[in-house]
Copies of this chain bind each other. A is one copy, B any other.
Amino acid sequence: VNEKNFARRAAALPTTFPAPHFPSEMGADTKIFDSAFAAPELLPDLAELASKILSDHKEELLQYSPTQGQPYLREWIAEYLTDDGCAGIGPNNILITNGAKHALDLICRLLLDEGDLVAVTAPTYFTMLPIFRSFGVRFIEVSQDTQGIIVDDLSAHFRRLADNDLPLPKIVYDIPEFHNPSGVTTSRERREKLIELCGRHDVLIVEDSPYRRVRFTGDDIPSYKALDTGDNVLQVGTVSKLIAPGLRIGWVAAHEQFITRLIALKSDGGTSALLQRLVYEFCMSPAFRGHQPQVSSTYHEKCDRMVVAFRREIPEAEILPPDGGYCLWVKLPEGKDGDLLTAKACAADINIFKGSLFFANAPVFPENRTVPKNFIRLSYSYATFDEIDEGVRVIGEIYRAL
């Protein structure tokens, strides 16, 4: 294979296969705290429903279907978002995708040219970093505190970019609910401030919202999409965190002028109508109404269990218990090496992520930016209580021996 045949940016792509990572690739003794897999006990029983829809709608489900997605599912999502406070959303504002990452990838393809800037929080969702990088962008890293993205820091970046005759970022990417990895939920004040700043500068906001309905505590705060009045927000949703990741149904909610172009870029022959109808029928069923509170309470209990375990095993770690979601962001005392802790934990079959993974680490203005090494990220979503207790106990042992 002659590498001169690859596209220029493909030179940075991996030349080895990914390491085993998914539950099906792990031994039974492995504690899976790395990726935010679904709790097995929450996966719904869809056998009967799948059989029924394949009987009742065989041709629809097995034929090619429209690229934008089935009208009934787009209608349902539009109503779901309207109920969630988004005004003026109809089925033409929705594009169904093969999961949320596919939606984010398509948005990048629509908006990003090589060399463009993208603003991300520090830390940010690490899976997005290689996707952004594959488009050849540079990063603006915006600080975050317990109220969410620090809009004054973003604003200072905007000024500094203008002072240096550099363009503003094309998009600001954020996860306002139970931020992955930090767990922070952005306050209403910060949300309004971000919408105002980006609206004034005509910068688009990509709101990644996988966990919004997995809230344990506190009251809903309107989404960026709900607060936006200027069509500046593209919101990405998914059923992965609420129903099941294996269904691979996500969506973009945005102004029609984004949707028409995204349809043209979605070169997949349409998302499987079988999966679309399975999601739709489940969402319309009585089972769904009971499912949602069960999801929240199950992850709430798992989250509490892991917080308690850390407070017992590593009391000096700082943890902000999230109001929802699947993940815990653990700050070790300064000077403690989270990367080393992660390597040793993984070697002991306790899969966690090092916090340093979650930093873009390629800022336009690099001075004064260092990637902190004293963080680890854990998902409590997949594991049992016993696995959480035992896993965190061993992490504590490794930590004390560092």
Contacts and interface: CB of A to CB of B under 8 A. Distances in A.
B268 A101 contact: yes
Interface in A6-52: 6-8, 10, 13-18, 21-25, 35, 37-38, 40, 43-48, 50-52
Interface residues of A, number: 92
B23 A59 contact: yes
Contact of A23 (B47, B61, B63, B263): B63
Contacts of A131: 267
Nearest to A238: B269
A104 to B, nearest CB: 7
A68 interface: yes
B248 A100 contact: no
Number of copies of this kind of chain in the complex? 2
B62 A268 contact: no
B105 A21 contact: no
A240 interface: yes
A64 B37 contact: yes
A209 to B, nearest CB: 15
Interface string A355-389: 00000000000000000000000000000000000
Contacts of A203: 5
A48 B52 CA distance: 9
A314 to B, nearest CB: 28
Most B CB contacts (10 A, CB to CB) among A24, A48, A258 go to A24
Nearest to A55: B47
B261 A15 contact: yes
A17 B92 contact: yes
B269 A62 contact: no
A140 to B, nearest CB: 16
B260 A245 contact: no
Interface in A251-297: 255-261, 263-265, 267-275
Most B CB contacts (10 A, CB to CB) among A2, A16, A21 go to A2
Contacts of A270: 22, 99, 248
A246 B268 contact: no
Nearest to A70: B24
Nearest to A61: B246
Contacts of A99: 268-270
B274 A18 contact: no
**5 A-B pairs with the lowest CB-CB distances in the bound complex, closest first:** A51-B51, A62-B244, A47-B54, A13-B261, A62-B246
Given A1-B231, A43-B59, 20 more contacts: A1-B257, A1-B258, A4-B202, A5-B202, A6-B111, A17-B263, A18-B66, A18-B67, A24-B63, A25-B66, A43-B58, A46-B54, A47-B55, A51-B51, A62-B244, A64-B240, A100-B269, A102-B268, A247-B272, A272-B275
29 contacts: A1-B255, A2-B202, A6-B111, A7-B110, A7-B113, A10-B110, A13-B261, A13-B264, A14-B261, A15-B257, A18-B66, A18-B68, A22-B63, A22-B65, A23-B59, A43-B59, A43-B62, A50-B50, A60-B246, A62-B246, A62-B247, A64-B240, A98-B268, A101-B269, A104-B267, A245-B269, A246-B272, A248-B268, A248-B272
Interface of A: 1-2, 4-8, 10, 13-18, 21-25, 35, 37-38, 40, 43-48, 50-52, 54-55, 58-68, 92, 98-102, 104-105, 109-113, 116, 130-131, 134, 170, 202-204, 231, 240, 244-248, 255-261, 263-265, 267-275
